[in-house]
Structure 1
Amino acid sequence: MEVVDDDEIENPYSLSNFRLSKPLKDALISKGIKALFPIQAMTFNDVFDGCDLVGRARTGQGKTLAFVLPIVESLVNGRTKALRKTGHGRLPSVLVLLPTRELATQVLADFQVYGGAVGLSACSVYGGAPFHSQISSLNRGVDIVVGTPGRVKDLLEKGVLKLGSLLFRVLDEADEMLKMGFMDDVKLILEKVDDFNKVQTLLFSATLPNWVKEISRTFLKPAKKTIDLVSDQKMKASTSVRHIVIPCSSSAMADLIPDIIRCYASGGRSIVFTETKEFASRLSGLLTGARPLHGDIQQTQREVTLKGFRSGKFMTLVATNVAARGLDINDVQLIIQCEPPRDVEAYIHRSGRTGRAGNTGIAVMLYDPKKASVNKIERDSGVKFEHLSAPQPADVAKAVGVETAEAITQISNSVIPSFKDAAEELLSTSGLSAVEIIAKALAKAAGYSDIKERSLLTGMEGCVTLLLEVGGKEIYNPTFVYTMLKRFLPEQKANEVMGVALTADKRGAVFDVQADDLETFLVGSESATGVSLDVVKTLPPLEERDMFRGRQGYGGGSRFGGRGGRGGGYSDRSTAALITSAMLRPILSPFSPENQIFNEFVIETG
């Protein structure tokens, strides 16, 4: 007799509340699973009882087991048990279609664990791997086939894969298969079943574009069930993830990313997403112990890489979109996106690689305020971004210092006699206290010889971020920032400022200067009436690119034609102010009262 804990009775999602056989329960418990996730619980009975189903859920909510568990249980103890073929050379009972090889490998692993627990066999078929091994598996006979549309289509056309005994077909990540251009292949595969009333069809998709809806209408039974854990809710990204955005220039990225990992990964695994394969390879070479994952890497090596990442052989994976969907790797603590993706769905799926299966995680997105906007992603995904500055080297050093101190305590006492005389000599002659000497020793052990400044705006080391304000007046254009700076600085020095960005309230502008030039800028500003220049301690909210372009009217029209903010070039008003500024500036003394009045005119009309 099976003993059921009181906690299991109180939890409606506990395993004891579902028609799961003991071998399957034992397999789940061995993986630390004592209760189903909502999407799994809500779909189990419908799938087990034979209903066609459309399922939607946020990424990371256990969608794979939502079809694996009821299918496996149905084949061995449910309504399809008597229909399943057995013996050598048997045709498959289940076909699962997925968009990527990595996702196919992952889903296969789940079928091998849970299907294997009840005596079912499974194989995967996908491009980039030899045909002969996949054909051999099919010829021997298999219960479950997991594959990508292209390779499944090829095997069907070769006559190796036959669907005459099919009982289940699953479309997982259907919207992604649409994006990857698999529409025709998927439709052809689905049409290979003569009577779809004899086959149970399950469709899972994060979104429901028109093509997915058409597939649902055409190939699923009219009485299909729909389980929607997303609906029209605005919040589509994972709620268990902390979403952070950090301004960063492309040139600072390679130096900044290691420090973000040190500050936010908490010793767990990290995935860094890049937009190009070339940058993924280059960045992985700069990060200690990292490995790249992208489409140019041979499939066998990609599988070795994923295995090493899962096992903890290395802790940082640098990947392109090939790894963005479907990967379910435990303890991914940190996701870093090197720039905002092209669409909000990509952000949701990338950030969804952390905070999975009830865990929490952190997703950091880097962006250049002058080139990209995060407003649309924030609005469409429903997340609330934390706008933070780049981790400062001093803060990173403190974190590293704690780790180094812990490591030093692990060093054998046998080394003390060999270094004791040198330590005593240093203590007596250096003029430093014992604590100060130990601090320097920790810094040396951690690889630090000095602590540099780092820009809050671009993440560049050796730079300081300044805030320029002009007596509370609005600043409409970065051009005026340079104009103001040239009033109290040599033109060459003013032109050396970097990354000029306006504040969201238009009452100021921030920019970077070399740390060595900081004193020159601050002293110079003291002679400028109505101008304040301060070192930024916390980066203020910034006006983003889409907002800036809309108001300034940058676009495809004539440079001096059109109306501001409508995409037709500079507005007449701001153009007149700029031309007037250029004509009158040489006439006026830089800090005369007349010039101060003129400054206000330019700012107000710019």
Structure 2
Amino acid sequence: MPPNAGKLPPHRGREVGKTLAFILPILESITSGPEKASRRTGYGRPPIILVLLPTRELAKQVFTDFKYYGDAVGLTSCCLYGGGGASISPQTVELKRGVDIVVGAVGRVKDHIERGNLDFSSLKFRILDEADEMLRQGFVEDVEYILGKVNDANKVQTVLFSATLPAWVNHIASQFLKVNKKTVDLVGVEVMKASENVRHIIMPCSSSARYQVIPDIIRHHSSGGRTIIFTETKDYCSELAGVLPGARPLHGDIQQSQREATLAGFRSGKFMTLVATNVAARGLDIHDVQLIIQCEPPRDVDDYIHRSGRTGRAGNSGVAITLYEPRKANISKLEREAGVVFEHVSAPQPSDIAKAAGVDAAEAILQVSDSVIPVFKSAAEDLLNNSDLSPVELLAKALAKSIGYTEIKQRSLLTSMENYVTVLLEAGRPIYTPSFAYGVLRRFLPEEKVESVRGLALTADKRCAVFDVAIDDLDTFLAGIICHVLFYGLLC
């Protein structure tokens, strides 16, 4: 076995994943087993190991492990990936000099094959990692092209890893693996389900309210740990990261060097909030992620399972919160397919966040040196003598000011919009369609007020409608209809 077999690379301090499960046996076979006699050495030698991955980040991570253990037994490794400013020339030089192990992203490996830089005549092992993700990202033809470059599959051992088994994965297993292939199922025949170590929360939130809600969610649910926020598009990823204090973006259009620096900074705790597309959903080795936020329910249930699985790892617990607009999302379908029962939780109210921040501010005040008291004592006495407020009330104001609160806004329970309140409409008869509810409102209210309603939805029993109105318009609505007002525990 390699001399480093009992240790882990520096960045893999507490988790041994499936990567080592195939690295160590392969290296053992090449250095001490039946493949040792046929191993070629010298300048220009072709690779004996090929590892294919769907993304640059995964390729870099797996390469780090192969290089760490390969170096220990005298095997050279190279990593092939493109995009983000990664030049192909240095990789070409490495391949022409000769390497034993090639780890690469699908697109760049294909590019090198087409340029004549890769020779698989001596290949003994090929590994496809995250095969189902290769399908999802549209690499079907590229993977089949690369696998087809091995003339005799019986001379190559192929290992295929996949979280799920869609038809295409079964197809390539039948087409490119040996006839006597073995299937190892580590999760049983059940459909893949979300982690039971994770608290799965669904939270109503309109797209326009996300910027105000997400910082409060992080303060309330992250417990001071790392947070990953998933977005559906690269543009929104960059936009959201730009407005969240201390956050950094991660997506495919960012230069590779910057992506690597971002991941390193997040792992080390240099910053605690990462905003990412699906490039961070699978395989990346990031410890101590306490909170996952998905800005909207993903289109694919597998995406939900993998994203929420970034927390609650290695026996730890975690929280996964999905924001949704009630009228647009089919939450019951996601629950059924992911095998979870969501907790329906409203967004943290600004008053709750302020209370928690006030406790922290009070503790911080006690840490201030007594030497500052003489400097500020005169101003404090003048404030007490010239104010109608009690000392406790003045201190409360001082605490609020110290943490940036000059007012406390209300937040609706339905859309999480600030300075809106959620109203429950009872019509005295079933309400089967939103248009019927709007018709009821038009009987009592001017058209411009009806048009100002936000997020109208029907209750499950079809007996009521709920919607948001601006706090300034609440009296107008209450004067015109019989209703219950629901906001932060107040029922009228």
Give, in angstroms, the shift of residue 537 of structure 1.
4.6
- Provide structure 2 residue ranges, at least 5 long, that are not aligned to the other structure: none
Tell me, yes or no, if the aligned pair for 1:27 and 1:117 is still in contact at 8 Å: no
Q: Report whether the alignment pairs 1:25 with 2:6.
A: yes
Tell me, yes or no, if the aligned pair for 1:482 and 1:495 is still in contact at 8 Å: no
Number of aligned residue pairs: 489
Tell me, yes or no, if the aligned pair for 2:200 and 2:321 is still in contact at 8 Å: yes
Q: Report whether the alignment pairs 1:110 with 2:65.
A: yes
Residue equivalent to 2:48: 93
Counterpart-to-counterpart distance in 2, 1:198 and 1:415: 78
Match of 2:165 among 198, 204, 208: 208
145-154 vs 85-94, greater mean Cα deviation: 85-94
Letter in 1 for 2:5: L
Q: Report whether the alignment pairs 1:479 with 2:460.
A: no
Using the size of structure 2 for normalisation, the TM-score is 0.91
Tell me, yes or no, if the aligned pair for 2:131 and 2:160 is still in contact at 8 Å: yes
Give, in angstroms, the shift of residue 142 of structure 1.
2.9
Match of 1:353 among 310, 334, 347: 310
379-388 vs 20-29, greater mean Cα deviation: 20-29
Using the size of structure 1 for normalisation, the TM-score is 0.75
Which of the two has higher C-alpha Rg?
1
Letter in 2 for 1:174: A
Q: Report whether the alignment pairs 1:522 with 2:473.
A: no
- Distance 1:524-1:141 versus aligned 2 partners, 3 A rule: same
Residue equivalent to 1:319: 276
- Distance 1:381-1:401 versus aligned 2 partners, 3 A rule: same
79-88 vs 434-443, greater mean Cα deviation: 79-88
Match of 2:19 among 43, 53, 64: 64
Counterpart-to-counterpart distance in 1, 2:373 and 2:45: 70
Note the 1:146-225 alignment, pairs <5 A: 146-225=103-182
Letter in 2 for 1:270: T
Counterpart-to-counterpart distance in 2, 1:519 and 1:91: 78
Give, in angstroms, the shift of residue 457 of structure 1.
0.5
Give, in angstroms, the shift of residue 538 of structure 1.
6.8
Match of 1:375 among 316, 321, 332: 332
Residue equivalent to 2:352: 395
Letter in 2 for 1:328: D
Tell me, yes or no, if the aligned pair for 1:467 and 1:536 is still in contact at 8 Å: no
Aligned residue for 1:440, secondary structure, equals helix
Match of 1:457 among 414, 418, 429: 414
Match of 1:75 among 14, 17, 30: 30
- Provide structure 1 residue ranges, at least 5 long, that are not aligned to the other structure: 1-19, 37-61, 526-530, 540-606
Give, in angstroms, the shift of residue 171 of structure 1.
0.5
Residue equivalent to 2:427: 470
Match of 2:205 among 244, 248, 254: 248
Counterpart-to-counterpart distance in 2, 1:388 and 1:256: 13
Deviations 1:326-347 (Å, cap 9, x if unpaired)?
Answer: 2221112211111112221222
Letter in 1 for 2:433: N
Residue equivalent to 1:511: 467
Letter in 2 for 1:480: F
Tell me, yes or no, if the aligned pair for 1:262 and 1:396 is still in contact at 8 Å: yes
Deviations 1:212-268 (Å, cap 9, x if unpaired)?
Answer: 112111221222221213343245222222211111111111111111111111212
- Distance 1:65-1:403 versus aligned 2 partners, 3 A rule: farther
Q: Report whether the alignment pairs 1:294 with 2:251.
A: yes
- Distance 1:26-1:103 versus aligned 2 partners, 3 A rule: closer
Tell me, yes or no, if the aligned pair for 1:470 and 1:532 is still in contact at 8 Å: no
Note the 1:487-498 alignment, pairs <5 A: 487-498=443-454
Counterpart-to-counterpart distance in 2, 1:402 and 1:78: 63
Residue equivalent to 2:87: 130
Give, in angstroms, the shift of residue 378 of structure 1.
1.2
Deviations 1:125-183 (Å, cap 9, x if unpaired)?
Answer: 01121012212322343332110122112212323222222221000111121222222
- Distance 1:329-1:31 versus aligned 2 partners, 3 A rule: closer
116-125 vs 270-279, greater mean Cα deviation: 116-125
Deviations 1:489-545 (Å, cap 9, x if unpaired)?
Answer: 4443343222111111112111111112223333443xxxxx433325579xxxxxx
Counterpart-to-counterpart distance in 1, 2:363 and 2:67: 41
Deviations 1:385-427 (Å, cap 9, x if unpaired)?
Answer: 1111111111111232233334444444443332222223323
Counterpart-to-counterpart distance in 2, 1:445 and 1:87: 67
Aligned residue for 2:54, secondary structure, equals coil
Give, in angstroms, the shift of residue 104 of structure 1.
0.8
Q: CA RMSD in A?
A: 2.6
- Distance 1:408-1:124 versus aligned 2 partners, 3 A rule: farther
Tell me, yes or no, if the aligned pair for 2:198 and 2:319 is still in contact at 8 Å: yes
- Distance 1:202-1:503 versus aligned 2 partners, 3 A rule: same
Counting aligned pairs with the same residue, the percent is 64
Aligned residue for 1:270, secondary structure, equals strand
Aligned residue for 2:8, secondary structure, equals helix
Aligned residue for 1:175, secondary structure, equals helix
Aligned residue for 1:224, secondary structure, equals coil
Letter in 2 for 1:534: V
Counterpart-to-counterpart distance in 2, 1:304 and 1:316: 14
Give, in angstroms, the shift of residue 25 of structure 1.
1.1
Tell me, yes or no, if the aligned pair for 1:92 and 1:166 is still in contact at 8 Å: yes
Give, in angstroms, the shift of residue 313 of structure 1.
1.8
Q: Report whether the alignment pairs 1:534 with 2:485.
A: yes
Residue equivalent to 1:569: none
Counterpart-to-counterpart distance in 2, 1:30 and 1:348: 25
Letter in 2 for 1:331: D
Tell me, yes or no, if the aligned pair for 1:453 and 1:462 is still in contact at 8 Å: yes
